[in-house]
Amino acid sequence: MMIRHTILHVSERTEIKMKKVFTTKNLVLMAMFSALAAVLMLWEFPIPFIAPNFYEIDLSEIPILVGSFIMGPVSGVIMEAIKIILKLLIKGTSTAYVGDFANFCVGVCLVVPASIIYQKHKTKKNAFIGMLVGTLFMAVAGVVLNYFIMIPFYVKAFGMPLEAIIGAGAKIQPLVTNKLSFTIVCVAPFNIVKGIIVSLVTALIYKHISAFVKTIKL
Protein backbone atom coordinates (compact mmCIF):
# COMPACT_ATOMS: atom_id res chain seq x y z
CA MET A 1 0.00 0.00 0.00
CA MET A 2 2.83 2.36 0.87
CA ILE A 3 4.58 1.76 -2.48
CA ARG A 4 1.29 2.36 -4.32
CA HIS A 5 0.71 5.59 -2.40
CA THR A 6 4.26 6.77 -3.22
CA ILE A 7 3.80 5.99 -6.93
CA LEU A 8 0.48 7.88 -6.99
CA HIS A 9 2.07 10.83 -5.19
CA VAL A 10 4.96 10.96 -7.65
CA SER A 11 2.53 10.63 -10.57
CA GLU A 12 0.41 13.52 -9.27
CA ARG A 13 3.46 15.74 -8.77
CA THR A 14 4.69 14.93 -12.29
CA GLU A 15 1.27 15.75 -13.73
CA ILE A 16 1.21 19.10 -11.91
CA LYS A 17 4.71 19.95 -13.16
CA MET A 18 3.78 19.05 -16.74
CA LYS A 19 0.68 21.26 -16.54
CA LYS A 20 2.91 24.15 -15.46
CA VAL A 21 5.15 23.55 -18.47
CA PHE A 22 2.32 23.47 -21.00
CA THR A 23 0.53 26.68 -20.07
CA THR A 24 -0.63 28.94 -22.89
CA LYS A 25 2.04 31.48 -22.03
CA ASN A 26 4.82 28.89 -22.00
CA LEU A 27 3.70 27.40 -25.31
CA VAL A 28 3.84 30.85 -26.92
CA LEU A 29 7.25 31.53 -25.38
CA MET A 30 8.60 28.16 -26.50
CA ALA A 31 7.46 28.87 -30.05
CA MET A 32 9.10 32.32 -30.00
CA PHE A 33 12.41 31.16 -28.53
CA SER A 34 12.53 28.13 -30.85
CA ALA A 35 11.88 30.26 -33.93
CA LEU A 36 14.63 32.70 -32.94
CA ALA A 37 17.00 29.79 -32.29
CA ALA A 38 16.24 28.29 -35.72
CA VAL A 39 17.09 31.61 -37.39
CA LEU A 40 20.34 31.89 -35.40
CA MET A 41 21.19 28.33 -36.40
CA LEU A 42 21.33 29.45 -40.03
CA TRP A 43 24.27 31.74 -39.24
CA GLU A 44 27.40 29.68 -38.63
CA PHE A 45 31.07 30.57 -38.46
CA PRO A 46 34.29 28.59 -37.85
CA ILE A 47 36.84 29.00 -35.08
CA PRO A 48 39.94 28.27 -37.18
CA PHE A 49 42.48 28.48 -34.35
CA ILE A 50 40.72 25.69 -32.42
CA ALA A 51 39.18 23.26 -34.92
CA PRO A 52 39.17 22.72 -38.71
CA ASN A 53 36.87 24.97 -40.75
CA PHE A 54 34.32 22.20 -41.33
CA TYR A 55 33.40 22.66 -37.65
CA GLU A 56 31.19 25.73 -37.43
CA ILE A 57 29.66 27.36 -34.39
CA ASP A 58 26.16 28.77 -34.16
CA LEU A 59 24.56 30.77 -31.37
CA SER A 60 21.15 29.08 -31.42
CA GLU A 61 21.54 27.90 -27.82
CA ILE A 62 21.26 31.47 -26.49
CA PRO A 63 17.45 31.82 -26.79
CA ILE A 64 17.02 28.17 -25.76
CA LEU A 65 19.11 28.68 -22.62
CA VAL A 66 17.25 31.89 -21.77
CA GLY A 67 13.93 30.09 -22.25
CA SER A 68 15.10 27.14 -20.16
CA PHE A 69 16.06 29.45 -17.30
CA ILE A 70 12.57 30.95 -17.47
CA MET A 71 10.51 27.77 -18.00
CA GLY A 72 12.71 24.87 -16.91
CA PRO A 73 14.61 21.92 -18.45
CA VAL A 74 11.60 20.15 -20.02
CA SER A 75 10.85 23.27 -22.02
CA GLY A 76 14.51 23.39 -23.00
CA VAL A 77 14.39 19.91 -24.54
CA ILE A 78 11.16 20.76 -26.38
CA MET A 79 12.63 24.00 -27.73
CA GLU A 80 15.76 22.19 -28.91
CA ALA A 81 13.58 19.72 -30.83
CA ILE A 82 11.42 22.45 -32.38
CA LYS A 83 14.54 24.41 -33.34
CA ILE A 84 15.93 21.45 -35.27
CA ILE A 85 12.59 20.77 -36.99
CA LEU A 86 12.26 24.42 -38.05
CA LYS A 87 15.85 24.51 -39.30
CA LEU A 88 15.24 21.39 -41.39
CA LEU A 89 12.07 22.91 -42.85
CA ILE A 90 13.87 26.16 -43.70
CA LYS A 91 17.25 24.91 -44.89
CA GLY A 92 17.15 21.13 -44.99
CA THR A 93 20.15 19.01 -44.03
CA SER A 94 23.62 18.64 -45.50
CA THR A 95 24.65 15.84 -43.13
CA ALA A 96 21.85 13.29 -43.66
CA TYR A 97 20.37 14.47 -40.32
CA VAL A 98 23.36 13.22 -38.31
CA GLY A 99 24.73 16.73 -37.73
CA ASP A 100 21.27 17.94 -36.76
CA PHE A 101 20.91 15.08 -34.28
CA ALA A 102 24.32 15.94 -32.81
CA ASN A 103 23.36 19.61 -32.53
CA PHE A 104 20.21 18.59 -30.63
CA CYS A 105 22.17 16.34 -28.27
CA VAL A 106 24.90 18.85 -27.39
CA GLY A 107 22.28 21.59 -27.00
CA VAL A 108 20.30 19.46 -24.56
CA CYS A 109 23.50 18.66 -22.66
CA LEU A 110 24.05 22.40 -22.19
CA VAL A 111 20.57 23.68 -21.33
CA VAL A 112 19.24 20.82 -19.18
CA PRO A 113 21.96 20.77 -16.48
CA ALA A 114 22.18 24.58 -16.53
CA SER A 115 18.43 25.09 -16.08
CA ILE A 116 18.07 22.33 -13.46
CA ILE A 117 20.75 23.95 -11.30
CA TYR A 118 19.34 27.45 -11.83
CA GLN A 119 15.75 26.35 -11.13
CA LYS A 120 16.81 24.91 -7.75
CA HIS A 121 17.68 28.38 -6.50
CA LYS A 122 17.43 31.32 -8.88
CA THR A 123 20.56 33.28 -8.08
CA LYS A 124 23.32 34.71 -10.25
CA LYS A 125 25.76 32.27 -8.64
CA ASN A 126 23.59 29.26 -9.52
CA ALA A 127 23.14 30.57 -13.05
CA PHE A 128 26.91 30.68 -13.58
CA ILE A 129 27.44 27.29 -11.91
CA GLY A 130 24.68 25.84 -14.09
CA MET A 131 26.17 27.26 -17.27
CA LEU A 132 29.62 25.98 -16.30
CA VAL A 133 28.30 22.47 -15.65
CA GLY A 134 26.25 22.60 -18.85
CA THR A 135 29.29 23.66 -20.87
CA LEU A 136 31.32 20.75 -19.47
CA PHE A 137 28.49 18.32 -20.25
CA MET A 138 28.29 19.73 -23.77
CA ALA A 139 32.05 19.32 -24.26
CA VAL A 140 31.94 15.68 -23.13
CA ALA A 141 28.89 14.99 -25.32
CA GLY A 142 30.68 16.51 -28.29
CA VAL A 143 33.66 14.22 -27.81
CA VAL A 144 31.48 11.10 -27.50
CA LEU A 145 29.24 11.98 -30.45
CA ASN A 146 32.15 12.83 -32.73
CA TYR A 147 34.20 9.77 -31.80
CA PHE A 148 31.41 7.20 -32.11
CA ILE A 149 28.95 8.77 -34.59
CA MET A 150 29.96 11.94 -36.46
CA ILE A 151 33.47 11.11 -37.67
CA PRO A 152 32.69 7.46 -38.61
CA PHE A 153 29.60 8.69 -40.46
CA TYR A 154 31.47 11.31 -42.48
CA VAL A 155 34.19 8.78 -43.32
CA LYS A 156 31.66 6.19 -44.51
CA ALA A 157 28.90 8.32 -46.05
CA PHE A 158 30.91 11.12 -47.65
CA GLY A 159 34.12 9.28 -48.35
CA MET A 160 36.22 11.61 -46.20
CA PRO A 161 39.47 9.81 -45.33
CA LEU A 162 40.00 9.60 -41.58
CA GLU A 163 43.62 10.59 -42.14
CA ALA A 164 42.48 13.82 -43.82
CA ILE A 165 40.27 14.73 -40.85
CA ILE A 166 43.06 13.99 -38.38
CA GLY A 167 45.54 15.86 -40.58
CA ALA A 168 43.30 18.95 -40.65
CA GLY A 169 43.25 18.89 -36.86
CA ALA A 170 47.00 18.35 -36.63
CA LYS A 171 47.64 21.48 -38.69
CA ILE A 172 45.96 23.51 -35.95
CA GLN A 173 46.83 21.44 -32.89
CA PRO A 174 50.09 19.44 -33.11
CA LEU A 175 48.90 17.17 -30.28
CA VAL A 176 46.36 15.60 -32.66
CA THR A 177 47.65 12.19 -33.77
CA ASN A 178 44.52 10.02 -33.99
CA LYS A 179 40.70 10.14 -33.79
CA LEU A 180 40.60 10.24 -29.99
CA SER A 181 43.13 13.05 -29.66
CA PHE A 182 41.28 14.94 -32.42
CA THR A 183 38.02 14.86 -30.44
CA ILE A 184 39.75 15.79 -27.17
CA VAL A 185 42.09 18.51 -28.49
CA CYS A 186 39.86 20.04 -31.20
CA VAL A 187 36.21 19.14 -30.59
CA ALA A 188 36.13 19.56 -26.81
CA PRO A 189 37.71 23.07 -26.81
CA PHE A 190 35.44 24.02 -29.73
CA ASN A 191 32.34 23.20 -27.65
CA ILE A 192 33.81 24.83 -24.54
CA VAL A 193 34.32 28.08 -26.47
CA LYS A 194 30.75 27.82 -27.75
CA GLY A 195 29.47 27.25 -24.21
CA ILE A 196 31.41 30.25 -22.91
CA ILE A 197 30.06 32.55 -25.64
CA VAL A 198 26.48 31.34 -25.14
CA SER A 199 26.80 31.65 -21.35
CA LEU A 200 28.22 35.19 -21.44
CA VAL A 201 25.56 36.47 -23.82
CA THR A 202 22.84 34.75 -21.77
CA ALA A 203 24.20 36.34 -18.58
CA LEU A 204 24.04 39.77 -20.22
CA ILE A 205 20.50 39.54 -21.58
CA TYR A 206 18.64 37.11 -19.30
CA LYS A 207 17.39 39.52 -16.64
CA HIS A 208 16.10 41.98 -19.26
CA ILE A 209 14.21 39.27 -21.15
CA SER A 210 12.94 37.66 -17.94
CA ALA A 211 11.57 40.99 -16.75
CA PHE A 212 9.85 41.53 -20.10
CA VAL A 213 8.36 38.01 -20.07
CA LYS A 214 6.81 38.68 -16.65
CA THR A 215 4.84 41.57 -18.16
CA ILE A 216 3.24 39.30 -20.77
CA LYS A 217 -0.29 38.30 -19.80
CA LEU A 218 -1.88 35.32 -21.56
Query: Per residue in 143-197, pLDDT tens?
Result: 999 999 999 999 998 889 999 999 999 999 999 999 999 999 999 999 999 999 9
Return phi, psi of residue 72, to 5°: 105, 170
- Which residues, in sequence order, are CB contacts of 163 under 8 Å at separation 6+? none
Q: Are 163 and 105 in contact (CB under 8 A)?
A: no
Percent over 70 (pLDDT), the chain: 91
Q: Is residue 85 part of a domain?
A: yes
Q: What is the pLDDT of residue 216?
A: 87
pLDDT at 123 over 50: yes
| CATH number, domain containing residue 119 | 1.10.1760.20
Q: Is residue 18 part of a domain?
A: no
Mean pLDDT of the chain: 92
Mean pLDDT along residues 55-70: 96
Q: Is residue 68 part of a domain?
A: yes
Q: What is the pLDDT of residue 41?
A: 95
Q: What is the pLDDT of residue 14?
A: 52
Q: What is the pLDDT of residue 94?
A: 86
pLDDT at 217 over 90: no
Q: What is the pLDDT of residue 9?
A: 44
pLDDT at 16 over 60: no
Q: Is residue 14 part of a domain?
A: no
Q: Is residue 158 part of a domain?
A: yes
pLDDT at 99 over 70: yes
Domain with 200, as residue range(s), is 28-43+54-215
pLDDT at 19 over 90: no
- The pTM of this model reads 0.90
pLDDT at 1 over 90: no
* Number of folded domains that form the chain: 1
Q: Is residue 4 part of a domain?
A: no
Q: Is residue 77 part of a domain?
A: yes
Which of residues 8 and 56 earns the better pLDDT score? Answer: 56
CA distance 62 to 57: 12
